[in-house]
């Protein structure tokens, strides 16, 4: 299944016999909360999902956006109307990071029929509504483990003997700046692969063949082990995981990402433009 859907395709499906469950996951790192924007206008039928409170656990030693407890995540998805056979479409304001986080979590917990609206709400030209929907309770029961998940040790091993991509901006990878976490730099052996290079100027993903060429040039092999990916706190890394899947590779997410790694003073830190 294609992990993304165009606005035109979504408009058609919303009038069909298998209307997808819509998740509005508007969120911006350091920005205003997404709920007011949702209440001001959202795609008809969409349910708001709070990334910080519902798609992540409490911040701590495991990072700024550790994975939520599966039971808690399952309750959020059931409230939104998700059942085992439900098609689901997640969207955000256009950056794609938050919607990709919802996509990854659903896939990781065993729900296969989930896609991200390519280009987010910015690509939607249909009507918006302000009413808050009350969907029928779903029956989704999460079964974690359907996608590869890395801890810090596994991420380090990927960087040494496989491929570990760093999805943050290049200046954070190099350690030139670090506006959020304890120290700047990257996991030794990780390769810089900013998420901004996965999309065109309008926020839509580049064609599969273009993405495949990008990741191949960075060292990915379709016949090799899953490609490890991390970011600052595990959110934009989900966007990179989505791009990898579009390109035909199998991604493995390090959910704790740099916020977990850099919080441990015993973990080595590399700086500069090169992997080591």
pLDDT in tens, 167-218: 999 999 999 999 999 899 999 999 999 999 999 999 999 999 999 999 999 9
Contact (Cβ atoms closer than 8 angstroms) between residue 70 and residue 96: no
Predicted confidence band of residue 30 (pLDDT cuts 50, 70, 90): confident
pLDDT at site 256: 97
pLDDT at 224 over 90: no
For residue 90, give the H/E element and its range.
strand 88-91
Given a contact cutoff of 8 angstroms between Cβ atoms, the answer to whether 152 and 232 are in contact is: no
**What pLDDT does 231 receive?**
97
8 Å CB contact between 94 and 199: no
Report whether pLDDT(31) > 90.
Answer: no
Report whether pLDDT(41) > 80. yes
- Of the candidates 66, 116, 72, the one whose C-alpha atom is nearest the C-alpha of residue 95 is 116
pLDDT at position 136 is 96
Q: Give pLDDT, residue 165.
A: 98
Q: Are 258 and 239 in contact (CB under 8 A)?
A: no
Question: Is the model's pLDDT at 160 over the cut of 90?
Answer: yes
Q: What percent of the chain has pLDDT over 70?
A: 100
Q: What pLDDT is stored for residue 1 in this prediction?
A: 74
Residue among 24, 21, 241 nearest 111 (CA): 21
pLDDT at 175: 96
Which residues are marked as active site?
A: 231
């Amino acid at each position: 299944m294609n992990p993304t859907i165009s606005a035109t395709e979504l408009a058609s499906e919303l009038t069909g016999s298998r209307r997808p469950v819509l998740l509005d996951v508007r969120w911006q790192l350091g920005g205003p909360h997404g709920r007011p924007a949702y209440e001001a206008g959202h795609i008809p039928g969409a349910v708001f999902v709070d990334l910080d409170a519902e798609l992540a656990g409490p911040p701590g030693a495991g990072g700024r956006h550790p994975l939520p407890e599966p039971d808690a995540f399952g309750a959020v998805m059931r409230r939104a109307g998700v059942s085992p056979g439900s098609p689901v479409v997640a969207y955000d304001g256009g950056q794609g990071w938050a919607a990709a986080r919802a996509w990854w979590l659903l896939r990781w917990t065993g729900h296969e029929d989930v896609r991200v609206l390519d280009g987010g709400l910015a690509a939607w030209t249909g009507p918006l509504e302000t009413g808050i929907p009350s969907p029928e309770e779903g029956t989704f029961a999460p079964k974690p483990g359907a996608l590869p998940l890395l801890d810090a040790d596994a991420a380090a091993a990927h960087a040494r003997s496989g491929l570990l991509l760093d999805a943050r901006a290049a200046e954070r990878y190099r350690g030139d700046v670090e506006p959020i976490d304890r120290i700047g730099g990257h996991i030794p052996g990780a390769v810089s692969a900013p998420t901004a290079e996965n999309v065109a100027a309008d926020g839509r993903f580049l064609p599969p063949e273009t993405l495949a060429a990008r990741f191949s040039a960075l060292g990915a092999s379709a016949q090799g082990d899953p490609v490890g990916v991390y970011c600052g706190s595990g959110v934009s890394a989900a966007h990179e995981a989505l791009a990898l899947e579009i390109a035909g590779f199998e991604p493995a997410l390090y959910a704790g990402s740099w916020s977990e790694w850099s919080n441990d003073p015993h973990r080595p830190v590399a700086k500069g433009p090169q992997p080591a």
